[in-house]
Amino acid sequence: MATTEETTIPDGDRPAPVPSTGNAAHPSARMPRWLPRAMVLALALVACFRLATWAFDRLTGLLLNILIAFFLALAIEPAVDRMAARGVRRGVATALVFLGIVVSVAGFFTLLGSMLAGQIATMVEDFPKYLDKVIKWINATFRSDLSRVEIQDSLLHSDWLQTYVEDSADNVLDVSAAVLGGLFQVLTVTLFAFYFAADGPRLRRGLCSLLPPHRQAEVLRAWEIAVAKTGGYLYSRGLMALISGVAHYILLECLGVPYAPALGIWVGIISQFIPTIGTYLAGALPMLIAFTVEPWYALWVLGFVVIYQQFENYLLQPRITARTVDIHPAVAFGSVIAGTALLGAVGALIAIPATATLQAFLSTYVKRYEVTDDPRVQGRRRTSRRERRAEQRAAAQEGSDAPAEPGQRGASALARVRDTLSRRG
């Protein structure tokens, strides 16, 4: 009977096991359980961000109107508080303040409108005479041979005039829509400002109810600072409007331009309370009226407006703002530039009171230390080497006359040097 012998294969010579080709996946190749949730969460965050961006772009105009209304409410709140302290209801007091503002603005523009209508009629009637003066000066100066009839014919039959008339007719609807949109924005700002001023205490109560007690005191303090700084800003604007109005009134009176007081008031108010384009709107009307007196007077008015604007921007406005709003002139100038870059005309209007409010509020949280008595810090000039040697010789001579201890002589000399420096500072 034959027997089979089993051969033993060493472990090192055994072939490697063949991996299974079945449908079951390897445990390490499975998707982590947190990955689908993370993907869904990332997609939800992206969708929320896109939705918030879209909503913010659509609501930017409304948010700017609310911001303007808030600062307008801060500006009139002191007057409303005074009337409310005398027993007048806040709603009635706010309505009276707004009524006074509306009546003043309407009366001012009605006066200017009647004046402007009369001057435009006069200018249209006398336009041929003004044109003859200009043509006569050009012919005498440049030795040309121009004729008013030829110029009028060339203007009436020019292509650019016809194109301008056609474009103006096509843009009537756009201009009307822009005017209606501006009126709607004014109404929106007025409505929000009325509610902010009339319901100021209720608004502060609602805001403070969401915060702990120690935070409520900080919010109320910030609100008071905002009211004070906004009032100071309006005071500075009113002061600059007064200075600008007086300066332009003197110029117009010297040139013999009619309605000089009303034009001075126009320039002062429009240039100070309408940002960015207020200066150009303010200067256009005096130039137009000066043109009816003498065509070259319009150039004098233009030059004065440009020079005074530079004087106001770089010298007058920083100093007045630094005194009324209590911020550095460079900070005020930089805040206006930053506000214009961020929010345009609205940013230029509210940049200074917002910056002053933030600076005053944060100043309480900044720890300050006593400054060392050093000429480089205190602004005193340094003494020269010759002066220091003379002071040392004088101190040494005085010390040799009166016998004293070396430490006492050094201390007395040092005290005298300090006194000398303080007197010179």
**Separation of alpha carbons 4 and 382, rounded Å:** 116
Tell me the pLDDT of the chain averaged across its residues: 78
Would you state the pLDDT for residue 125?
A: 79
**Separation of alpha carbons 346 and 328, rounded Å:** 21
- Most confident range (mean pLDDT) of 53-67, 146-160, 170-184, 352-366 is 53-67
CB of 285 within 8 A of CB of 116?
Answer: yes
Amino acid at 87: G
Flag whether pLDDT at 73 surpasses 80: yes
User: Rounded mean pLDDT of 272-287?
Assistant: 80
In Å, the largest CA–CA distance within the chain is 148
User: Rounded mean pLDDT of 359-365?
Assistant: 72
By CB atoms closer than 10 A (0-12, 13-18, 19+), residue 417 is middle
Task: Name the band, by pLDDT with cuts 50, 70 and 90, for residue 20.
Answer: low
Flag whether pLDDT at 2 surpasses 50: no
Amino acid at 258: P
Flag whether pLDDT at 424 surpasses 70: no
Domain ranges of the chain: 211-369, 386-424
Would you state the pLDDT for residue 6?
A: 47
Closest CA to 332 of 369, 358, 309, 307: 358
Would you state the pLDDT for residue 41?
A: 92
By CB atoms closer than 10 A (0-12, 13-18, 19+), residue 43 is exposed
More confident residue, 267 or 413: 267
**Cβ neighbours of residue 255 closer than 8 Å, sequence gap 6 or more:** 290, 293, 294, 297, 300, 301
Would you state the pLDDT for residue 259?
A: 81
Would you state the pLDDT for residue 1?
A: 44
User: Rounded mean pLDDT of 95-122?
Assistant: 82
Would you state the pLDDT for residue 216?
A: 87
Cβ neighbours of 231 (radius 10 Å):
19
Sign of the Cα pseudo-torsion (8, 11, 13, 19, in order): positive
| Residue keyed to tokens 């460079």 | 330
Would you state the pLDDT for residue 95?
A: 92
Would you state the pLDDT for residue 383?
A: 58
**Lowest mean pLDDT: which of 56-70, 94-108, 270-284?**
270-284
Would you state the pLDDT for residue 234?
A: 83
Which pLDDT tens digit goes with each residue over 183-242? 888 899 999 999 999 988 898 898 888 888 888 888 888 888 888 888 888 888 888 899
More confident residue, 91 or 409: 91
**Lowest mean pLDDT: which of 146-160, 259-273, 309-323?**
146-160
CB of 200 within 8 A of CB of 75?
Answer: no
Alpha-carbon separation of residue 70 from 40, 45, 65, 192, 323 (angstroms): 40, 32, 9, 8, 24
Task: Name the band, by pLDDT with cuts 50, 70 and 90, for residue 362.
Answer: confident
Flag whether pLDDT at 3 surpasses 50: no
**Separation of alpha carbons 130 and 52, rounded Å:** 59
Amino acid at 417: V
